[in-house]
Amino acid sequence: METLNPLVWNGKEPELWNIANEVVDPEIPVLTVVDMGIVRDVTREGDNITVKITPTYSGCPAMEMISTDIKAAFHRKGFNNVSIEFVLSPAWTTDWISDYAKDKLEKYGIAPPPRSTADKNAILGKPKEVRCPQCKSLNTVMISNFGSTACKALWKCEDCKEPFDYFKCI
Amino acid sequence: MSNNSNAALLEFVLRLGDNNLILGHRLSEWCSNGPFLEEDIALSNIALDYLGQTRILYTYAGTLEGGKTEDFYAYERFEHEFTNALITELPNGDYAHSIARQLYYSVFADLLLTELMKSKDATLSGYAAKAIKETAYHLRHATDWTLRLGDGTEESHQRMQKAIDDLFMYTGDMFATTEKEKSLVAAGIAPDVPALKAAWTKKVESVLKEATLTMPDAATWQMQGSRTNRHTEHIGYIIAEMQYVTRAYPGNKW
């Protein structure tokens, strides 16, 4: 069983949170939607389960699929009355991705966001250092602030010459 | 909430949503037509952010009107019912024109959202807190390219200056307001949009100066109309394309 992201799990309903934690992000299948901080709350009232989710970016096209996948995961465990609620506030931030999940991202080949958005440089797209997920060099440059998905920027490594995705800090 | 203040809130929410939808639609026209791959992706990503922001606002408008869907606002209204700022509906022009518009609009959006985060309306303040993070990236993108083109070659400088000059007459309309909106300002729900003009001018001026470009004359005649249901001729073409399928197959689901 995967660890529940301590930055979002409120310590309640571990059984339900663990079911939600089986659902992976369709764009980044190495992380679950709980690792990502997309799942904000899971509550139960009688037989009715409510899962609150928040989008990473307003236009994230994966939200529909994530909703469907969460419902399916609960159905497989015998919970048939599952409703998904979209919440906007507080706004999603990369600070909700746990360090454990950041390590998984890097192993997968995506440079993780810096540890905290409190670093203003990071928000402005100038993180102190972005490490190449392939060769671990810090000699890297940004190609574009916009990448293959809304949440990623495109970087390249000046040492191993490989381009790579960098998870944007917001 | 009284009927009057509800109508005012609806008008304001649609103004925000329409700006996003129409500008997002224009930017999406760059998809597969960008000057190079990374910019193609960047402009399409920004378009997607605007579309996502529109959905939040139209969904909220639907709840204010009791059960209308987000699709209604995008697909079932006519030209004069859209309240987007005129600058958002202008054709893309060359790449410099699109960048000039992004600069003018992103500086405006950043200031507007900063104020909107303080709104007493929880949906609007929540929306603003989300959207401003995306806008920070849009603003940075527009600023970087204005610097690169303005302080680039003789040709890029001249074309960027032309774009800045051509679009300036449409910027005043972004700050237009209405009597209904003024009542929301008094209630602490909407920011005082015309009051953002001074900060906007200062910021745009500083970017242009760094890009070796000249700020257009503040006394330039300004086109107005978006808050009185008057548009440029271009809105009809956008809507015709955007609404064609839903009008050809009303109520169809796929």
Per-residue pLDDT, A148: 83
Q: How far is CA A147 from the centre of its chain?
A: 16
Query: Out of A58, A123, A146, whose CB is closest to B136?
Result: A123
Sign (positive or negative) of CA dihedral B136, B142, B146, B147: positive
Per-residue pLDDT, A118: 54
Q: Is the Cβ pair A58, B134 closer than 8 Å?
A: yes
pLDDT average, residue stretch B139-155: 97
Q: What are the φ/ψ torsions at residue A48 (nearest 5 degrees)?
A: -90, 125
Give the number of other Cβ atoms within 10 Å of residue A109's Cβ.
Answer: 13
pLDDT average, residue stretch B84-91: 98
pLDDT average, residue stretch B192-198: 98
Q: Tens of pLDDT along B203-213?
A: 999 999 999 99
Q: Is the Cβ pair B134, A147 closer than 8 Å?
A: no
B207: nearest Cα among B155, B160, B159 = B160
State yes or no: pLDDT of B67 exceeds 90.
no
Q: Chain B residues within 8 A (CB-CB) of chain A?
A: 38-39, 41-42, 45-46, 48-53, 55-56, 122-123, 125-127, 129-131, 133-134, 136-137, 140-141
**Residue whose tokens read 């809130």:** B9
**Partners of residue B124 in chain A, C-beta under 8 Å:** none
Per-residue pLDDT, A129: 80
Q: Which two tokens stand for residue A105?
A: 């991202």
State yes or no: pLDDT of A73 exceeds 80.
yes
Contact status, residue B106 vs residue B44, Cβ threshold 8 Å: no
Q: Which CATH superfamily is domain B3-248 in?
A: Ferritin, core subunit, four-helix bundle (1.20.1260.10)
Contact status, residue A147 vs residue A154, Cβ threshold 8 Å: yes
Q: pLDDT band at B252, cuts 50/70/90?
A: confident
Contact status, residue B39 vs residue B27, Cβ threshold 8 Å: no
Per-residue pLDDT, A60: 87
CATH 3.30.300.130 maps onto chain A at 14-86
Q: What is the CATH number of domain A14-86?
A: 3.30.300.130
Which ipTM was obtained for this model? Answer: 0.83
B197: nearest Cα among B219, B175, B176, B214 = B175
Rounded to whole angstroms, the Cα distance separating B205 from A167 reads 32
* A144 contacts: CB under 8 Å, gap ≥ 6: A153, A154, B38, B39, B41, B42
**Min distance A50 CA to chain B CA atoms (Å):** 20
**Min distance B159 CA to chain A CA atoms (Å):** 23
Question: Where are chain B's structural domains?
Answer: 3-248
**Partners of residue B122 in chain A, C-beta under 8 Å:** 89
Interface test with B, best of A142, A146, A155, A167 (most B CBs within 10 A): A146
